[in-house]
Structure 1
Amino acid sequence: MTAYLNHPSVWQESWDRQQEAFMPDREHRFTAMLDAVAAVTEDRPPRLLDLAGGTGAISLRTLARFPGAHVTVLDQDPVLLTIAESSLHDRATIVDADLGDPGWRAKLPQSGTGDGFDAVLTATALHWLPAERVSALYAEIRDALRPGGIFINADHMPEETLPTLSSKLQDQARIKREARYASGASTSWPAWWALAAADDQLAEKAVERARIYPAEDHNQEWLPPATWHIEALRTAGYSEAGLIWRGGKDAAVAALH
């Protein structure tokens, strides 16, 4: 594979399809998140942090909706950051930082005015962190926001009051996802990474990624219900916190500085 540099949008599309196989309503959550950003900024171009932003999926949609937005993508994955940088060009600031390190905010760009971000958004990422780190991170994110700014986390947050229905929905989604893999409509998670590792421009980054995320350390998902996140956000000092979107076993919680 040699066409990567000339066609970064192809890898972005490939990532989106792979993710949509897991989350068919992925665009719905993004829309709900950006609707909330529009509400707190009154539709002016926001200063937004795409936290654990991967390929910059949220950033691309932010820039499409809010031309002139100031966007920062923060992640640690060298493969995904390479795709983000190629897709976004000079339209966003790219930051390589580890959210497991409380010093991650020191790597953020300075606004020049001392104000924080209007919005910090993250999707399907923080479940890799342990409970105590997520709790601490929520307070750190609050400190990165301007007064009145918004934080939104969309992730796997099962509905604890509907365990039977949630299980059935999960089984139904799995069957459809496996059919998509079998038909070639989308690529599975391991297959996508294998393709990335075979790309001339990404192979070296894939080796670096394997050092950062040893396989035995990157399979420990922690999936509490939305109520846990809401309580943790309130404890972290946000003025209000609650649920703004749900789709099956996934949800988005929002909190205001």
Structure 2
Amino acid sequence: MSADTTETAPTAAYWQAWQDSWDRQQEWYMPDREERFRVMLDMVEALVGPAPRVLDLACGTGSITDRALKRFPEATSTGLDLDPALLAIARGHFAGDERVTLVTADLKDPGWRSALPHDSYDAVLTATALHWLHGEDLAVLYGQLAPLVAPGGVFMNADHMPDPATPRIDAAERAHRHAGMDRAKAAGAADWREWWALAAADPVLAEPVKARFAIYGEHADGDTPSEAWHVRTLLDAGYAEARTVWRSPSDALVLGLK
């Protein structure tokens, strides 16, 4: 995946390779990642139709945007993140696609919405990203997001949402999942630290990776509240309806409908 920038700019194949590499690394943690994306887009189509204006919140490399545009060619997407390395991959991957706008913003900044090109969105989507926020900050964010969702529009968050009422079930599921991860690791799968080490060694991504770690450190430390907390907080933020629309033993996809 390396690129010699002294001679040529990185190619589309180069950026696609990094996009694929990110997907494989994330799938090591979440083998059902594509299933949650499928359900997310099913609900987008069911509730707002096949040409949504999407806000890909904490977008990373643009995994949601990539899948949304492949499924809905008439959609548009705004990808928002603070991570300079993942945004570099997203900008390379989506270069020349006028349907995509990428912006840098910090969701902890009270004025982060001013970076957006639109005042409202049909679908605000995020996956495996907001757990780096603590609960009180996430509740504030949910309140800030509500006015951005158009009437009849949706917000969806897929993330780690354990059930505090079932500690034995959770422990057994975690042990089983990690045994599978160990087998995949032995077969050559890259984990979080290994992936970032590879990115840091790439001459194109080295500086963005350095900037990324200056912002976040090794990994952000947030909370993983239950799906019941998410549903309650979305209703308190002004959504007309909210509930879980998909779940695995450890994760859930919660939807709020304006």
TM-score (normalised: structure 1): 0.93
The one-character-per-residue Cα deviations of 1:200-222 (angstroms, maximum 9, x if unpaired) are 1000101111111123xx34231
1:108 aligns with 2:113: no
Q: Which residue of 1 aligns with 2:10?
A: 5
The one-character-per-residue Cα deviations of 1:40-93 (angstroms, maximum 9, x if unpaired) are 1233x1000000010000000000000021111100001100111111123210
The one-character-per-residue Cα deviations of 1:169-193 (angstroms, maximum 9, x if unpaired) are 1111111112211211x21100000
Q: Any conservation in 1 of the 2:29–2:181 contact (CA below 8 Å)?
A: yes
How far 1:163 moved relative to its partner? Answer: 2.2
Q: Give the secondary structure class of the aligned counterpart of 1:102.
A: coil
Q: Which residue of 1 aligns with 2:155?
A: 151
Letter in 2 for 1:129: L
Q: Which residue of 1 aligns with 2:56?
A: 50
Counterpart Cα distance in 1 of 2:123 and 2:215:
28
Deviates more, 1:26-35 or 1:88-97: 88-97
Which of 169, 173, 181 is residue 169 of structure 1 equivalent to?
A: 173
Q: Which residue of 1 aligns with 2:233?
A: 232
Q: Give the secondary structure class of the aligned counterpart of 2:111.
A: helix
The one-character-per-residue Cα deviations of 1:102-158 (angstroms, maximum 9, x if unpaired) are 211100003xxx6x1000000011111111111111111111111111000000001
Q: Which residue of 1 aligns with 2:133?
A: 129
Counterpart Cα distance in 2 of 1:132 and 1:171:
30
Q: Give the secondary structure class of the aligned counterpart of 1:83.
A: helix
Counterpart Cα distance in 1 of 2:166 and 2:96:
45
1:27 aligns with 2:34: yes
Letter in 2 for 1:240: E
Counterpart Cα distance in 2 of 1:219 and 1:135:
17
Q: Which residue of 1 aligns with 2:205?
A: 202
Counterpart Cα distance in 1 of 2:31 and 2:205:
27
Counterpart Cα distance in 1 of 2:49 and 2:61:
27
Q: Any conservation in 1 of the 2:135–2:222 contact (CA below 8 Å)?
A: no
Count of residues in Structure 1 that have an aligned counterpart in Structure 2: 249
Q: Which residue of 2 aligns with 1:251?
A: 252
Which of 11, 14, 21 is residue 21 of structure 2 equivalent to?
A: 14
Q: Any conservation in 2 of the 1:127–1:223 contact (CA below 8 Å)?
A: yes
1:88 aligns with 2:94: yes
Counterpart Cα distance in 1 of 2:177 and 2:71:
29
Letter in 2 for 1:202: L
Counterpart Cα distance in 2 of 1:231 and 1:241:
8
Letter in 1 for 2:206: A
Gap runs ≥5 in structure 1: none
TM-score (normalised: structure 2): 0.93
4+ long deviations beyond 3 Å: none
Give the alignment's Cα RMSD to 1 decimal. Answer: 1.3
Counterpart Cα distance in 2 of 1:136 and 1:25:
29
Q: Any conservation in 1 of the 2:105–2:115 contact (CA below 8 Å)?
A: yes
Q: Any conservation in 2 of the 1:102–1:137 contact (CA below 8 Å)?
A: no
Percent sequence identity is 47
Counterpart Cα distance in 2 of 1:90 and 1:74:
17
